[in-house]
Amino acid sequence: MQNNYTEKAKKTALALAFGVAIQGSFITGIPGGVPGLDRALSCGNCKIGMSKGLPTQFMAHMTEEQKKAFKKSLRGK
């Protein structure tokens, strides 16, 4: 089942999962609990790719709790 989420919805879910600030369509801040991610998360005009309901650019660095939070937020629950 393929869901076409808006970039805004994906960015909002990503910001909530990582506990970072979102302002309009720009997310910035240092992700919490992300070992191996050596730079601050920032995404303004970027496109967030999706695979299996998770953001491809960040899923390798996400904890299970963050993955659940992302999916929950993306579905609006």
Q: Which two tokens stand for residue 16?
A: 């909530």
- For the chain, the structural domain boundaries read 7-75
% residues pLDDT > 90 (the chain):
17
DSSP track, 8-68:
HHHHHHHHHHHT-EEETTEEEEPPTT-TT--S-EEESS----EETTEETTTGGG--HHHHH
Residue 39 has pLDDT above 90, yes or no: no
**Could you tell me the pTM of the whole model?**
0.75
Q: Give whichever of 22-26, 38-42, 61-65 has the largest mean pLDDT.
A: 61-65
**Which CB contacts under 8 angstroms, 24+ apart, belong to 36-45?**
36/60, 36/61, 37/61, 41/14, 43/11, 43/14
